[in-house]
A and B are shown apart, each in its own frame.
Chain A
Amino acid sequence: MDSSIDSKAGPALTVKTRRVPAEEGLWVFIIGDMMIFALFFGVYTYYRGQEIDVFSDSQKDLNKLYGLVNMILLLTSSWFIALALKAVRSERGSLARGLIALGMGCGIGFAVLKVVEYSEKADQGISLITDTFFTFYFMLTGIHFFHVFIGLGVLTFLFLKARNTSFSESDIRTFEGGAVYWHMVDLLWVILFPLLYLLG
């Protein structure tokens, strides 16, 4: 018998309450979106294997530094939004607003850099029909860019909603939903960046 256990006090039990953050319906959308992107990643990698020389040569025309800066911007944006959710939960609306604004700033930075990158490609005469690599590049980054735009709209809504000084359970679920969506936008870029810019 183990004498180190205090039989009177009994072992300390921590009951972890598992829950679903945000509205359940949102997760159906998130899961669907992530399944579609999983398919995109697989199809892209397959076509890369079929035209390895074309993909390797065209990949060299991308500015990896833009991809890296955008990666850091989205990770930082996600961090601000996660902090903002924590602020909302502790009823600190003005702090949440500031953090959401910082998160939006990083998101806008991402969008501006993407536009600069697209413009540079256009100046070089590179477009969607240049070759298979660039068809995938513009399609995948374009679809992701669309998600960023939607996300910035969602963050704007949360920014306005954070004017309140107290938040109901339903309000918090709304903030959780917006944050979950924005983190998904971030994680999709976490895969797209190495896949498009770095794959050797």
Chain B
Amino acid sequence: MKDLILSKLTSIWLVLGALTMATWILTESNQSGTLQTIEFVTMAIMAFAFIKVRIIILHFMEVADAVLPLRIFFEAWVVLVYLVIVVIYLFGGGI
């Protein structure tokens, strides 16, 4: 059991937890910001989320060691979905 607890998987879980708490602190500290600050914080919050998603895909779903087409698909998915959300969020009213 000790070898499992001390494995890389635990470090990954701790990083994911830390990113979650960072997101929470960022949200709570920006309750009454200006529009620009809110937009910046929102992009940062979504960026943290997609960094977490990439970590889960690569290390928990083991896509880091998978065949290249699978890895390329998921790397592209993470970047494209993040960009789509951010672009629609920033310019959504005018699309």
Contacts and interface: CB of A to CB of B under 8 A. Distances in A.
B27 A45 contact: no
Interface residues of A, number: 48
A71 B20 contact: yes
Contact of A187 (B17, B56, B73): B56
Interface of B: 1, 4-5, 7, 9-10, 12-13, 16-17, 20, 23-24, 27, 30, 33, 38-39, 41-42, 45-46, 48-50, 52-53, 56-57, 59-63, 65-68, 70, 73, 77, 80-81, 84-85, 88-89, 91-93, 95
B4 A83 contact: yes
Given A19-B65, A27-B70, 11 more contacts: A16-B65, A19-B66, A21-B65, A45-B85, A46-B88, A46-B92, A79-B12, A179-B60, A180-B61, A184-B61, A199-B46
Contact of A75 (B13, B30, B61, B65): B13
Interface in A1-25: 16-21
Interface string A160-200: 00000000000000001001100110110011011100111
B81 to A, nearest CB: 5
A20 B56 contact: no
A194 B38 CA distance: 13
A38 B84 contact: yes
A41 B39 CA distance: 18
Contact of B20 (A16, A20, A75, A195): A75
B56 A190 contact: yes
B39 to A, nearest CB: 8
Interface in A47-77: 48-50, 52, 64, 68, 71-72, 75-76
A68 B24 contact: yes
B42 A200 contact: yes
Contacts of B24: 68
Given A38-B77, A45-B92, A64-B27, A191 B45 contact: no
Interface of A: 16-21, 27, 31, 34, 38, 41-42, 45-46, 48-50, 52, 64, 68, 71-72, 75-76, 78-79, 81-83, 86-87, 95, 99, 176, 179-180, 183-184, 186-187, 190-191, 193-195, 198-200
B1 A193 contact: no
Contact of A190 (B42, B49, B61, B92): B49
Given A194-B46, A198-B27, A200-B41, A187 B57 contact: yes
